[in-house]
Structure 1
């Protein structure tokens, strides 16, 4: 049927695409195998993954030369040595050779990638910062690359971002067909201060990635974050030193220090005024927190601890009104945005026997097939644009903060989106907790009360069982010296108490002890009955 034909076409498309377009080379045999397996898992088993030394021998060749590509991406090993002794096709390295020792093979990888691009090719590679400023032969290579107008952008990344190394890294973007606006220019982005901290290594948050992507795509210049620099400045002022902080310095302003405030107390009026723009976004007055006149103000008498400040801020009517306004804007946005979500899912189309009667080569039976929904990336772009337009009106967040809110939410639901795109809307997408919290609130509260009561009765029963002195039967006494606790179950304790009662009834001398044991047995039975009723 159509679905099967579509699957065959889909597979053939990917097979043909992989055979002619997807290539890779990796020195480490184990990692090469992992890369191959990754391709198989993504339905591209025919991607060509080679195992070898890229600098020594470019195994991916075509017509007696190394193959040229539209796009190259790589994360080569940092700070490696190399050898020219057995090097093949050394004419790949157009701008010279880096020292073979001293662990400076980084720019050799870069030159190989540049040579592997076709006339309109683009590439992005991770590089250590050292390639941007080291001297000697590396400077000559760097100068050649800059003068050839190949570098589109250099993006500084946060520290400790990659597993196993704390070496600062950057993304080097090469473009053999740079736009006219970037002719003889390089776009610098200094993103090393915006990231999430992890225990072992740091990471880029969704909002950090979105900002880098947006700024790079639109070549947007932001003070302390990004800048377009002319090649003349790079050559004449900085002597081909591409150290990013020379062009985009994001060093934070020093913290204001007021000796009088440190010694005598009080908050400098200048520090309060420096936050006035933030107060104004929410219509909040600093007078709600601070009192006094002159250059130094003090917290109001009712502000006795830090938590009180939070209460004052959250209960401020203007702030409440601002949040309500934002929430209304979000609700209005969603009324439109949900239509895009609905169109993510494949559309179910039904054709009856009558409708297909005149169609050639089609079996006369009911057919059910799917027409592909909208692409996730297109939906994301459209929603993000409208989301920004909606919230920027409120003027409480800047465009990157607004984008950060959206992409964090989008990241949280990305797997649900893939499910919708693949199989359509499914009940499994809605968490059970949602149904319970919204439609079965009373039942949930009742169950929680029952569970609490069961736990209390169970604990009470367990305490009672453990409080009874228990002796094993003579027959099992020698089996395991440590099995007293294993045998201490409700049943064994009850059987034990019953046997004791039978023994004590034989004599009138144990009335008090008999009464006590009967009470213990009765208490156990009562607790068991209570548990049965609760369950």
Structure 2
């Protein structure tokens, strides 16, 4: 069976948990990622005799499997991995983790059991089909683990990974094109685990020639493994301090590259310790400050770019405005025209720091004659992800679209002329808020409206996008009160109904439904052709870009919000579905399968994954999982006539339960007729009522109590009978549904999946985006209506009336003023 992305990720993270113990994430990642590497290259060698990595005898994952349960498993795993390293010149890359370390893995049986379980988890995974035509499932899994390890490694140890979302944005900003040749070079002087380099290389269908340097040897090992797992085994990744010991030289000069990306450590204080040769990096700029290395890295990157080179680097915002030596360097960089643009990012995106950062886009090719720097303030666009922030697909696409098209968007982006930057009031300070005011307009309270009533037209004018979409709506909702002010024609409670019942809203709904329907239907043939050779990244790019274009010129609806709906579904469901179809074909992916055993409880009973259908109980139960087509789609299409009476039976069960609840609530109170039938928790159950009825008859209790007990026992019996009938009907429906799967043709499957499962969810997402927009309008109009509903005069009148009322009460009680 094809391996789903979500299944692979959860299995690998379970593997990490097997080793967790008291070990820091920065340590146990080395064990898990090493085994992932060995498993992957072993599987690939089985499938391809010409694979990049040679797997020698005694150095494969199968050899590790043979060691499960052996008392010397740790020592022999080390030997096997060393053989693999020796055969491929990977010493110091894949054999850094000591699998026989009792301090980290435990002693004796604890170590044996831990490694045996861990190898068993990887043993069940099959990577022979990974990276099928661009679907880098395994490489993505590696990044998934890297992200989790970075998140758990703590502030000082999480700097080996640049979030994939930021990496993709940077890859797009430097302008790698579809026709860029494989020979074009890309360089990262502080490459960490290599994820940023790989995202840039992936931007070209042909790939790029990759160079990277990393100071930490263990992190450099992660990068080398990352390159192999992503099909870039020839990447040149070297170890050393980039500033004091750059590894890519031509004679006594720095080697230069076509493209450059970097996420260097922020504000390093010891950057120049041991610096002997500056390699001309600071010539013409001046030396960066002794206690801050940000500009040392930036100038190294400038020097490492070819004369037509382009790059992007992540740095803290301080580089944009700090003074003294940095101000001098910044001024010279601006004058030379090397800075093409600056993108301000949200805070707390990166694992090594919580401070906000920016992307500085470099372009030597077009430096001469540059007249401005394009700035984007993207600091507001993100979502919370655990204890970090993360760019959403909509945020990424908006940054890329805005920058590549140089769009002037109010409160978001603009081209800032060099003359404005050089103006004495700015003096080459590039702090983004100087040039882009991204703050939200203040919601001003209008004193005249509070005094005299009415809603300020200024507030209504601010809603102009809605009035553009619904030209007659403003006059329907409001009428003039006096110059500059309006009042509601309808009650506040009727605002939403007035909007949604209007002909303009109906036309708006019809239009958006038609747009998304046409867009989806136009891709039906593309989706039907999903096969083993499909490139999922290309598929979702085509869907996403065309959806954006379909809604780009539509009034009111934010095309990036609609895009986010699609991408959210892609990450949650659609990508897994595509991967299944690629691996199994349409027919195979739609077949029900037996639920997998995920593990065993303390009593050695199996724990199964959640099943869609279960027949039987306990050990004899048959559990079925439907990965591609949920049973409810089958029922809705083919068995609605069976579902309808079942719904009626379920309603009878609910009514029977409600009758019990109401009867018990009335008579199970203290000294009530059912009080003696309650348990220790004060509840009446079938057993407590039956037992009390039997005892009451034996005691000759009051006839009213006996009658009440008999009544509630009868209600419990009716509920039990209703439940049995409904359960039998449910089993019958499930059996018919299971049989229906076997009768589906390929065309049936495609229609159910493409039209009803995928299309239904995507269309519902657009509808949700539309509904949210209308709700925002309704809420705003309610706020304005409530704010100015009562004037100061009205409030004064109420105060006077209440004062008079109090005075009258006091007089009636004989209390004088």
The two structures share one fold, judged by TM-score above 0.5: yes
Conserved? CA contact 1:156–1:169, under 8 Å: yes
1:286 and 2:466 matched:
no
Aligned equivalent of 1:413: 570
Aligned equivalent of 1:228: 415
Distance in structure 2 (CA, Å) of the matches to 1:522 and 1:394:
62
**How high is the TM-score relative to the length of structure 1?**
0.70
1:208 and 2:366 matched:
no
Distance in structure 2 (CA, Å) of the matches to 1:431 and 1:179:
56
Instruction: Give the direction of change, closer, same or farther, for the CA distance of 1:174–1:316 in structure 2 (3 Å limit).
Output: same
Conserved? CA contact 2:676–2:692, under 8 Å: no
Conserved? CA contact 1:289–1:303, under 8 Å: no
Aligned equivalent of 2:510: 324
1:131 and 2:319 matched:
yes
Aligned equivalent of 1:58: 246
Instruction: Give the direction of change, closer, same or farther, for the CA distance of 1:65–1:497 in structure 2 (3 Å limit).
Output: farther
Aligned equivalent of 2:406: 219
For residues 267-305 of structure 1, give each alpha carbon's deviation from its aligned partner in whole angstroms, at most 9, with x where no partner exists.
Answer: 1234334534531322333232223532232223x4144
1:106 and 2:263 matched:
no
Instruction: Give the direction of change, closer, same or farther, for the CA distance of 1:28–1:257 in structure 2 (3 Å limit).
Output: farther
1:173 positional shift = 1.0
1:74 and 2:231 matched:
no
Q: State the SS of the aligned residue for 2:273.
A: coil
Higher relative contact order (CA 8 A, sep 6+): 2
Distance in structure 2 (CA, Å) of the matches to 1:60 and 1:228:
35
For residues 127-154 of structure 1, give each alpha carbon's deviation from its aligned partner in whole angstroms, at most 9, with x where no partner exists.
Answer: 1111011111112222332233321211
For residues 486-519 of structure 1, give each alpha carbon's deviation from its aligned partner in whole angstroms, at most 9, with x where no partner exists.
Answer: xxx999999x999x99xx99xxx86769x97997
Instruction: Give the direction of change, closer, same or farther, for the CA distance of 1:445–1:216 in structure 2 (3 Å limit).
Output: same
Conserved? CA contact 2:45–2:51, under 8 Å: no
For residues 52-107 of structure 1, give each alpha carbon's deviation from its aligned partner in whole angstroms, at most 9, with x where no partner exists.
Answer: 54333335667776554333322222232124231254226333332222xx2111
Conserved? CA contact 1:156–1:244, under 8 Å: yes
Instruction: Give the direction of change, closer, same or farther, for the CA distance of 1:444–1:525 in structure 2 (3 Å limit).
Output: closer
For residues 195-222 of structure 1, give each alpha carbon's deviation from its aligned partner in whole angstroms, at most 9, with x where no partner exists.
Answer: 4467744443322221210121122333
Distance in structure 2 (CA, Å) of the matches to 1:469 and 1:281:
61
1:402 and 2:559 matched:
yes
Instruction: Give the direction of change, closer, same or farther, for the CA distance of 1:445–1:294 in structure 2 (3 Å limit).
Output: same
Distance in structure 2 (CA, Å) of the matches to 1:26 and 1:310:
59
1:298 and 2:487 matched:
yes
Give 1:65-464 correspondences, 5 Å limit. 67-87=255-275, 89-91=277-279, 93-94=281-282, 95-101=285-291, 104-163=292-351, 165-178=353-366, 183=370, 185-196=372-383, 200-235=387-422, 237=424, 238-276=426-464, 278-295=466-483, 296-300=485-489, 302-305=490-493, 308-343=494-529, 345-346=530-531, 372-373=533-534, 376-377=537-538, 383=543, 386-387=546-547, 390-392=550-552, 394-397=554-557, 401-414=558-571, 416-417=574-575, 420=578, 422-423=582-583, 425=586, 426-427=589-590, 428-444=627-643, 446-447=645-646, 450=649
Conserved? CA contact 1:142–1:240, under 8 Å: yes
Q: State the SS of the aligned residue for 2:394.
A: helix
Distance in structure 2 (CA, Å) of the matches to 1:8 and 1:178:
45
Conserved? CA contact 1:92–1:112, under 8 Å: no
Distance in structure 1 (CA, Å) of the matches to 2:414 and 2:268:
31
Conserved? CA contact 2:421–2:430, under 8 Å: yes
Distance in structure 2 (CA, Å) of the matches to 1:118 and 1:329:
46
Conserved? CA contact 1:416–1:429, under 8 Å: no
Aligned equivalent of 2:95: none
Q: State the SS of the aligned residue for 2:562.
A: helix
For residues 231-261 of structure 1, give each alpha carbon's deviation from its aligned partner in whole angstroms, at most 9, with x where no partner exists.
Answer: 4543454332222233334444444442111
Instruction: Give the direction of change, closer, same or farther, for the CA distance of 1:316–1:184 in structure 2 (3 Å limit).
Output: closer
Instruction: Give the direction of change, closer, same or farther, for the CA distance of 1:65–1:437 in structure 2 (3 Å limit).
Output: farther
1:190 positional shift = 2.5
1:467 positional shift = 7.1
> How many correspondences in the alignment?
474
Distance in structure 1 (CA, Å) of the matches to 2:637 and 2:280:
65
Gaps of 5+ in 1: 347-369, 471-483
Distance in structure 1 (CA, Å) of the matches to 2:722 and 2:544:
57
Conserved? CA contact 2:374–2:413, under 8 Å: yes
Distance in structure 2 (CA, Å) of the matches to 1:490 and 1:251:
63
1:187 positional shift = 2.0
Conserved? CA contact 1:384–1:403, under 8 Å: no
Aligned equivalent of 1:476: none
